[in-house]
Structure 1
Amino acid sequence: MYSKWVVVADSSRARFFFYEGKKEPLRELEDLVHAEGKLKTQDVVSDQQGGRGNGAHSFEPVTDVKQQEAIRFAQQIGDKLEQGRVKNKYNDLVLIAAPAFLGTLRQTLNDQIMKLVGKSIDKNLVAQDESNIRSYL
């Protein structure tokens, strides 16, 4: 049986849809929110960074915290997609994501999921309504 999932995401939210056809509305399956993706870097970095110390190495550069959170969320999306793939919930996948997040998401998906990606769209549509998202399919 042919079934298509559409994932619309950015670094703080991912919406999973079931696509039944051009004339049918998308059916939303799940809406994941990653609140940490909306935080500003200074809200996430601890006060210990750059603190006083006795030596030349008292300050160590912080890896990009927002990027680490984006990777963590992309992995969470990948886990949901892997669960769906293993349970044969879909056999075609469309990824629609903010341009900066789409590459991160692709890097976290395994080869089996990537083989099912029929289309990728680099657009931030996560806040759009169902009919506007469907117009891109």
Structure 2
Amino acid sequence: MPITTTVSFLGLDTSETDKHAKQFAEVLGDVMERGRQEGRYDKLMLIAPPHFLGALHDRLGEQTLKRVVGEVDNDLMTLSTAGLRSHLPA
């Protein structure tokens, strides 16, 4: 019988946090797929923490992934708009 370990992070078990992240990646991936199909964008720049970026990649189809022109695998949630811009290509 496997042993399952959960660690508390901000009051949530990591298993619960991971579950919510995967659910959000599914919703966001569906929105991005639909946006591509409807011609709402030509290029994508993905910015997310590494674990979420992986979950998002799992949800995106080949045609959508072809539109990804860059990625920043960092958690930049606490940065100001100017700080965020400093991580983007010119």
TM-score by length of 2: 0.74
Flag structure 1 segments of 5+ consecutive residues without an equivalent: 1-37, 43-63
Structure 1, residues 49-107: CA drift from partner, whole Å, max 9, x if none? xxxxxxxxxxxxxxx33322211110111112122212211111010111221111111
Residue identity opposite 2:57 in structure 1: R
Q: Which has the higher helix share?
A: 2
Q: Determine if the alignment matches structure 1 residue 134 to structure 2 residue 85.
A: yes
Whether the 8 Å contact between 1:71 and 1:108 is mirrored in structure 2 is no
Superposed CA RMSD in Å reads 2.0
The residue identity in structure 2 corresponding to 1:41 is: D
| 1:1-137 pair list within 5 angstroms | 40-41=12-13, 64-137=15-88
Report the CA distance between 1:114 and its aligned residue: 0.5
* Higher strand content, 1 or 2: 1
Distance 2:61 2:18 in 1: 19
| Cα distance between partner residues in 2 of 1:40 and 1:87 | 37
Q: Percent identity?
A: 34
Higher Cα Rg, which structure: 1
Structure 2: distance between partners of 1:79 and 1:101: 15
1:39/1:93 CA distance change after superposition, 3 Å = farther
Greater relative contact order (Cα < 8 A, sep 6+): 1
